[in-house]
Chain A
């Protein structure tokens, strides 16, 4: 809502000399979101000029300029160059002279242009800061509106600050000068001249015939009729100027007046060309298949939920959203039927959404308009049409009004103090509620507080005092009966009224008290373990990144996922940002590889990045989530079905390594990051949370079929690590042999220990033995190691693979694995034969299990 300060001043008696910025500050304190204050930086001289002569001078660039002489009230004419052509000799125009500054800081000086010295220029509406008036040229004043040499700044009220206010959904009444003026008057403690306080001259009956079929959706419908207007009359300049300053284009007197009244009062108005109406106006819901050509010349298919304004010809408007083209006011219109109605906010909101049509009218109706306004707004429109379009107002008036009176609410007299925890006195509470327009009475003896009234207990309430309401003396625990004003349908609950009292009391005046929580236990085990994983990876040189979780077929294809891969089964969005990425990620690598691609593309070819995030795994059977009542807590079964309807969303961790882990340097050749680094990072992640994964070779996209490690804990697969498939590297533009990890972090964390019991360790000497075993090439080293450990028995302290050898000496299809075994007893020095026996037992299990042959020498 754009509010010119001059318009505000008309209804709120603001102190002389206050600026837009000062008013904005007061309004912000009162809870209005003033986003910007446009302060005019215009300075003169800016005068009215009369065109004496002009020459059309075609230029080489194809333009034709005019070399004009102007009477600006001085002895000598003023000579200027002008690019516009929408004026004639004798017209009054606005001339800015050298030394002036136009809005936007444009300083004007005499300058040489197109072969002349132009001593200033003739101004357009936009140049004057009035916005685009649609004239495609300069401003031409009405003949006789001014005399040459007059100060145009004063004439056009050009120096006017404009406040731009973002109106929150509960403050629909502030979508009007009337509402903002009320807030400004309250803030300054000055009188409000209510613009709706008009003399009604309608008879209350006999107006254009109207039948409302759905009085829930349309509770008020008022019409007035004005005959014999000159539809071609121009709206007065002050009205045009205010419309422009408020962000609306002047169009014609008929349209401008309805817009003006809407801005001033907040009541949307629709004007019909009476000559185009046929028969009774009926307000009803649309029939199936009905259509309407709206004012924007679009043919709209109507929904049976749409509320329509109709006549004998069918639909002539979607109520509260947009009128129809057939009954629009045109240049030929002489008689106008003015409609001012009250529509249900939800009906309008839905229609506006359905037709993707957000109009100035619908924005107001959606936030609910004062139901008492229609008669006054229609009167105001009629008055303005009579005055500026030469019309005659018929006393006949249609008034359909079934709107219920605002419901009174009972609340404790000290409710505001209790909610705030501040000593807001009862006297202040009552005064503030009255200043927002509420009627406050002492409640009847048998009244009970409205639901939701109790529950807030301030520690200090002794200061609220007592007060007198009417003739009653009111104490803190007495009830008040408060009736909200017609323009505040948002005031329904005790807390709504408390808010009004507290904001006028001043949020700044509420004390600051840190509440004492009961003792907590800090982060959960899972939260702590996540931090440890991140710290460990950073210690290993990895950098954390974030990526959007959106993905699509292109990513799955690039990762080489088979057509039937269940990771292609996704949670999809109805309205994704991009049609190419309609899915939520089922694996982090889908999006992390794109992030890697972006980094590599920006020159970071040696990359070690990680990311944690949820993945979204659809359940086998997807059910819609219910929408239980909000009147009370849903049942446990309902809550469970809310949770059950959602996809599984485990937390994953992903890693991508590209290029070198060690760069080439003065120490020697660099070392590329490879499959083993990825697997090792998987192990680091697991050990950071205390999990002990089992690792084995598997084939799985997007990894290299021979270089993919599957991680599992307690028999459950928790992820994979290894080198990426060459085609995947190519598809994502990554260096060859890039590698990646993806693990289910939740599952790993859950596999960590609850607590760790300490083991004693021996101080007797260690006995070291090396064993080299020749096995088939496809036997996993980890399995051989496990066999040795199993066979070696209790005396084994550790076993470690230290060499892998393949070559002619041991034959094709075989490999030699060398292990270092350490033996130690807790209670004695081991004898040579004990060690030899244990070693032999270890080897024997490997021999039995893998046909291993001991390599000698």
Chain B
């Protein structure tokens, strides 16, 4: 059927008339545009681009034309086919996009629903605060030193200038290890770690010692027989009380915020001479509550300062007992209770919450304090 048809005048072949080609093209484009969905578009495609479609059929007629007319007719049909194809693909893109959008809309979920894989757990805040303290001091170049909890009495007391019958030693409410006279105790403070540091390291010594300690107190809202301390020790040439103050000021700012400072009040500890209590400027009211009944402060009890720990210049007798050359070196030390720190820093009201191991206590902190 593809041979030239000699039965009719080629000029009169209707499908190849310019007007007819344009009409067919426009009809197809309209049909595509009007196709409401992919199925309708597919149907229109068969009608206007399928094997039996006017444009395909018209194309076949080209062969029947005299050679001189073929070129022009071919160009005309080709342009129309191109336009119809483009009309189809652009409409297809539109309808596909609409279809996908509709499909995704049906897949909407409630993202507030819970899921069954475990939530993040939580650290105990005493661990977190120990680590925070360690980080403050390692940033200064200090080491974190540790030691055992069952400790030699000599390291817990004698090496620190707590003489056997001195009231200071009796005030420590010590747990003794069997048999009586074993020379072993549950450490009453982390200070034996300082003694160990002096015995095993050579100056300069810059160590921070967080750890668990023991006293024979009954558990109540403000006391616990098992608690955590952090102590710091520096032994170096030319160390003075001024260096202790500088270190405590830095520590206070690191833990409680800019603009805060430590205050020292004379006190007595066998380990240090001179000795002082460390107070910190109340980080909540910054002293504004003092003498100001309209603005009471719960954190400091409107005292303006919060009692935080003890400190002092290491007693040269302690350096001597631990083999440090007192002609060359001096030192300072300080110590704080971590439970107490948490109590006023984070508003923990009852010591028992910190030691009973109730998961709800840890969980309210997560991984931050």
Contact = CB atoms under 8 A, between A and B. Distances in A.
Contacts of B119: 541
A512 B357 contact: no
A625 interface: yes
Interface stretch (A165-173, A262-270, A320-328, A822-830): A165-173
A630 B318 CA distance: 8
A531 B323 CA distance: 34
Interface string B172-211: 0001111111111010000000000001000010100000
A632 B121 contact: no
Contacts of B239: 456, 515
Contact of B154 (A421, A604, A642): A642
Category for how many chain B residues contact A: 35 or more
Nearest to B240: A421
Given A512-B242, A513-B246, A520-B142, A627 B357 contact: no
A393 interface: no
Contacts of B26: none
A573 interface: yes
A541 B140 contact: no
Contacts of A366: 167
A482 to B, nearest CB: 15
B96 interface: no
A517 B206 contact: yes
Given A421-B243, A646-B148, A548 B328 contact: no
B293 interface: no
B206 A627 contact: no
B29 to A, nearest CB: 50
A502 B167 contact: no
Contacts, number: 325
Interface in B337-369: 354-360, 362-363, 367
Contacts of B120: 538-539, 541
Interface string A580-610: 0000100000000001001100101001110
A672 to B, nearest CB: 13
B142 A517 contact: yes
Interface stretch (A226-234, A275-283, A557-565, A661-669): A661-669
A541 B367 CA distance: 12
A663 B116 CA distance: 7
> Considering residues B177, B263, B264, B315, which has the most beta carbons from chain A within 10 angstroms of its beta carbon?
B177
Contacts of A599: 357-359
A495 to B, nearest CB: 4
B234 interface: yes
Contacts of A661: 118
Contacts of B218: 577
Given A349-B165, A513-B242, A457 B237 contact: yes
B300 to A, nearest CB: 15
A625 B268 contact: no
Contacts of A633: 199, 320-323
Nearest to A542: B121
Contact of A632 (B175, B274, B323): B323
Contacts of B315: 493, 495
A770 interface: no
Interface string A192-222: 0000000000000000000000000000000
B276 A546 contact: no
Given A457-B237, A575-B216, A647-B150, A546 B326 contact: no
Contacts of B124: 544-546
Contact of B327 (A346, A454, A510): A454
A548 B175 contact: no
B362 A544 contact: yes
A169 B226 contact: no
Interface stretch (B7-15, B30-38, B61-69, B155-163): B155-163
Interface residues of A, number: 115
Contacts of A459: 238, 240
Contact of B158 (A573, A584, A616, A627): A627
B123 A544 contact: yes
Contact of B268 (A168, A420, A511, A662): A168
A625 B153 contact: yes
B22 interface: no
Nearest to B183: A625
A169 B241 contact: no
Contact of B240 (A456, A514, A614): A456
A503 interface: yes
B356 A598 contact: yes
Contacts of B17: none
A532 to B, nearest CB: 12
B116 A662 contact: yes
Given A508-B263, A520-B141, A624-B181, A538 B317 contact: no
Given A419-B241, A420-B242, A545 B247 contact: no
Nearest to A629: B321
Interface stretch (A25-33, A62-70, A133-141): A25-33
B313 interface: yes
A572 B177 contact: yes
Contacts of A626: 154, 183
Contacts of B327: 454-455
Contact of B152 (A419, A625, A631, A663): A625
A572 B178 contact: yes
Interface string B140-151: 111110001111
A772 to B, nearest CB: 30
Contact of B267 (A33, A508, A624): A33
A571 B150 contact: yes
B316 interface: yes
> Considering residues B241, B249, B327, B330, which has the most beta carbons from chain A within 10 angstroms of its beta carbon?
B241
Interface string B97-121: 0000000000000000111111111
A153 to B, nearest CB: 25
A543 B122 contact: yes
Interface stretch (B49-57, B79-87, B126-134): B126-134
B321 A646 contact: no
A213 B112 CA distance: 88
A499 B273 contact: yes
B121 A511 contact: no
A465 B336 CA distance: 37
A458 B238 CA distance: 6
Nearest to B247: A514
A510 B116 contact: no
Contacts of A375: none
A507 B240 contact: no
A495 B273 contact: yes
B5 to A, nearest CB: 60
A613 B150 CA distance: 13
Contact of B199 (A419, A598, A639): A639
A630 B161 contact: yes
B87 to A, nearest CB: 45
> Considering residues B115, B131, B267, which has the most beta carbons from chain A within 10 angstroms of its beta carbon?
B267
Nearest to B125: A544
B123 A353 contact: no
4 pairs of A and B residues whose beta carbons are closest in the complex: A633-B323, A421-B240, A541-B118, A31-B266
28 contacts: A346-B165, A419-B240, A419-B274, A421-B243, A452-B316, A455-B329, A456-B313, A493-B315, A493-B317, A499-B274, A502-B241, A514-B140, A519-B141, A520-B142, A524-B143, A527-B144, A542-B121, A544-B121, A544-B362, A546-B357, A548-B225, A572-B177, A573-B175, A575-B216, A576-B175, A627-B153, A633-B199, A646-B148
Interface of B: 113-124, 126-127, 131, 134, 138, 140-144, 148-155, 158-159, 161, 164-168, 170-171, 175-184, 186, 199, 204, 206, 212, 216, 218, 225-226, 234, 236-243, 245-247, 249-250, 261, 263-268, 270, 273-277, 313, 315-317, 319-323, 325-330, 354-360, 362-363, 367
Given A576-B175, A631-B320, 19 more contacts: A452-B316, A455-B326, A459-B238, A499-B266, A507-B263, A515-B243, A517-B206, A518-B141, A538-B123, A543-B121, A548-B355, A595-B356, A611-B357, A632-B321, A633-B321, A634-B199, A642-B155, A643-B152, A646-B184
